[in-house]
């Protein structure tokens, strides 16, 4: 029988930092959001201190000092690069994978026996740990939702969990709906109001009642939880639309500043479109094109990356665009065309964002103010120029680690004595 697997990197940003700081392997570590505002990744030791995700850093500064917590600013150059290495390894071993976020990928696997599957997934886990240094958790189950649940089960144990339908039958009475992927705070509250506390409650509720209260998403979730796939990893990819904004220049340019300005324009357009359709993008690609009929035809190219979390925030997208532009820009090459493509598009109420809600709210307010003003006074009455964006991103990275894997200057040195 075909099962669906999820490979999930444990405490991903923290684990990336630990690759180059093995002294921190069993010590409390956190990573802060952009601008060092809030906590976006916690090591197990910090989770055990009871510090929740998304807490403003200043609120826990004293507590962290006492507990000897090591603090890092976000270093997305490092995280993107390590993510790519992990995903490349998984792709090599598993064939097709569906990358769901910066640290998660779904895949399909034929389940011959539970024991065999465990051996294979343990092999993969060991391989990634040894070659890249990132600890993974695997969940294998009949549906994506159950695979996600399974991946949490052995996070602190073997890291490999295979959930069969029989195994799930025995558990679902004691699993609360709030533990299920996609069931956020508001949905949990609504479920409580209808006395749907456990998965068993939800599955035994009348189908038409579920549809009436929770709509088509409710019936899909029921199907997923009873072991019948309502979504497939590759299905989503096929369905997924993307948003593209691109244009050729009338004259070529060799200036990185001009290219970045143009990319910023397209990023603003594309992210505006995301916000107006209440969606977020998980992946961004940029294009720097040269004249097709010239000696520069082989120059230029595209670069893409998975975002740390799905977003429609122009500032977050601009930051990534700039990073990508630097990776493909070549001095003295005349460029003719730039473009931005946003993909892996999901609805704005995407469950992953629950984690970031306190921090994201203000950003979204800023974006919606800009959208409102531009709608009434005309497009580009307010723009987030590079100046504004530089300012918001180049300060307050007080605890940033080196870009160990993407910058020659930051490569670790080994002292041989």
Q: Can you give the binding site for Mg ion, defined by CB under 5 A? A: 8-9, 12, 103
**Cα separation of 43 and 379, whole Å?**
44
User: How, if at all, do strands 301-311 and 279-290 pair?
Assistant: antiparallel
CB of 15 to Mg ion, least distance (A): 9
User: Least distance to Mg ion from the beta carbon of 162, Å?
Assistant: 19
Q: Which is nearer to Mg ion, 9 or 180 (CB)?
A: 9
Instruction: Output 12 or 214, the one with its CB closest to Mg ion.
Output: 12
Q: How far apart (Å, rounded) are the C-alpha atoms in residues 112 and 268?
A: 49
In this complex, which beta carbon is closest to Mg ion, that of residue 267 or of residue 305? 305
Spatial separation of the C-alpha atoms in residues 58 and 56, rounded to whole Å: 6
Least distance between Mg ion and beta carbon 208 (Å): 36
Nearer to Mg ion, 11 or 245 (CB): 11
Tokens of 197: 């506390």
Element (H, E) at 218: helix 207-225
> In whole angstroms, what separates CA 186 from the centre of its chain?
22
Pick the closest to residue 77 from 395, 413, 410, 344 (CA basis).
410
DSSP secondary structure string, 92-142? HHHS--EEEETTEEEEEEE-S-HHHHHHHHHHHHHHHHHHT---EEEEEES
Task: For Mg ion, give the closer residue by CB, 9 or 31.
Answer: 9
Q: How near is the Cβ of 12 to Mg ion at its closest, in Å?
A: 5
Q: How far is the CB of 87 from Mg ion (least distance, A)?
A: 13
**In angstroms, rounded to a whole number, what is the distance separating the alpha carbons of residues 274 and 104?**
23
Nearest distance from residue 105's CB to Mg ion, in Å? Answer: 11
d(CA 343, CA 351): 18
Cβ nearer to Mg ion, comparing 67 with 355:
355
Would the CA dihedral through 408, 414, 415, 417 be positive or negative? negative
Structure tokens at 362: 């203000």
Cβ proximity to Mg ion, 86 vs 268, nearer residue: 86
Beta partners for residue 99, in sequence order: 105
Q: How far is the CB of 172 from Mg ion (least distance, A)?
A: 24
CB of 43 to Mg ion, least distance (A): 12
- As measured in angstroms, the least distance from the Cβ of 81 to Mg ion is 17
Distance CA 326, CA 393 (A): 16
Give the shortest CB-280-to-Mg ion separation in angstroms: 18
* Rounded Cα gap, residues 230 and 143, in angstroms: 8
Query: Pairing state of beta strands 136-141 and 39-42?
Result: unpaired
What is the smallest separation between the CB atom of 128 and Mg ion, expressed in angstroms? 13
Spell out a b/e string for 80-94, using b for 16 or more CB atoms within 10 Å of the CB, else e.
bbbbbbbbebbeeeb
Evaluate whether 274 touches 310 at the Cβ level (below 8 Å).
Answer: no
Considering the complex, state which of residue 103 and residue 363 has its C-beta at the smaller distance from Mg ion: 103
CB closer to Mg ion, 184 vs 385: 184
Helix (H) or strand (E) segment spanning residue 42? strand 39-42
Nearer to Mg ion, 147 or 287 (CB): 147
HSE-CB for 251 with a 13 A CA cutoff = 4
- Give 210 or 306: the residue with its C-beta nearer to Mg ion: 306
């Amino acid at each position: 029988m075909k099962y669906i697997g999820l490979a999930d990197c444990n405490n991903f940003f923290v684990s990336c930092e630990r690759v180059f700081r093995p002294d921190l392997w069993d010590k409390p570590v956190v990573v802060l959001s952009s601008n060092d505002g809030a906590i976006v990744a916690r090591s197990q030791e910090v989770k055990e201190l009871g510090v929740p995700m998304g807490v403003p850093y200043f609120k826990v500064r004293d507590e962290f000092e006492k507990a000897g917590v090591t603090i890092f600013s976000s270093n997305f150059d490092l995280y993107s690069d390590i993510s790519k290495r992990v995903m490349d390894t998984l792709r090599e071993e598993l064939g097709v994978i569906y990358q769901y976020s910066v640290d998660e990928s779904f895949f399909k696997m034929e389940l011959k026996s539970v024991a065999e599957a465990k051996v294979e997934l343990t092999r993969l886990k060991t391989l990634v740990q040894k070659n890249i240094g990132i600890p993974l958790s695997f969940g294998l189950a009949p549906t994506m939702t159950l695979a996600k649940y399974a991946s949490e089960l052995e996070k602190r144990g073997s890291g490999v969990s295979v959930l069969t339908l029989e195994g799930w039958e025995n558990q679902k009475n004691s699993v609360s709906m709030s533990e299920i992927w996609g069931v956020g705070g508001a949905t949990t509250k609504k479920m409580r109001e209808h006395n749907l506390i456990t998965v068993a409650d939800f599955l035994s509720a009348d189908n038409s009642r579920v549809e009436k209260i929770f709509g088509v998403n409710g019936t899909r979730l029921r199907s997923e939880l009873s072991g019948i796939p309502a979504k497939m990893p590759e299905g989503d990819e096929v369905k997924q639309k993307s948003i593209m904004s691109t244009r050729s220049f009338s004259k070529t340019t060799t200036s990185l500043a001009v290219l970045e300005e143009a990319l910023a324009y397209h990023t603003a357009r594309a992210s505006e479109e995301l916000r107006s359709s209440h969606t977020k993008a998980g992946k961004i690609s940029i294009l720097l094109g040269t004249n097709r009929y010239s000696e520069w035809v082989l120059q230029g190219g595209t670069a893409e990356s998975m975002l740390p979390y799905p977003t429609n925030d122009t500032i977050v997208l601009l930051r990534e665009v700039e990073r990508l532009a630097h990776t493909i820009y070549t001095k003295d090459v005349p460029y003719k065309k730039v473009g931005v493509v946003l993909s892996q598009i999901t609805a704005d109420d995407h469950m992953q964002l629950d984690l970031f809600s306190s921090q994201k709210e203000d950003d979204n307010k800023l974006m919606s103010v800009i959208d409102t003003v531009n709608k009434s006074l005309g497009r580009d009455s307010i723009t987030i120029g590079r100046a504004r964006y530089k300012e918001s991103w180049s300060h307050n990275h007080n605890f940033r680690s080196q870009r160990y894997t993407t910058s020659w200057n930051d490569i670790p040195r080994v002292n041989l004595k």
